[in-house]
Amino acid sequence: MLVLINSYSFVGLGLLIVLIGTLISWRLGNPVLAVATVAVTLVALVSFQLTTSTKFNTVSNEEDFNRALASGKPVLLELYSNF
């Protein structure tokens, strides 16, 4: 499921979740409950985005690349060609 949601549609999906949560909590309770629901939902969505996003690191020279390979951590290598 998470593979189907990219970073742009995550924002749209997050806004939809906030809207639905706000409407449901507004109907069931009072406006204070709706504001609390929006706040909790936004904090949850932002924390989910921050914990699941990858950090953009670039390797500028061969020594940094060799150090990254020797670190024992997984390395994602992206090749670019302008052909």
- Residue 54 DSSP class: P
- pTM for the full model? 0.58
DSSP notation for 8-48: HHHHHHHHHHHHHHHHHHHHHS-HHHHHHHHHHHHHHHHHH
More confident site: 62 or 60 = 62
Give the pLDDT of residue 59: 77
Give the pLDDT of residue 40: 92
- Which pair of tokens denotes residue 18? 């906030």
Q: Is 74 helix (H, G, I), strand (E, B) or coil?
A: coil
Query: Residues 7-33: pLDDT tens digits?
Result: 678 888 888 999 998 888 888 888 888
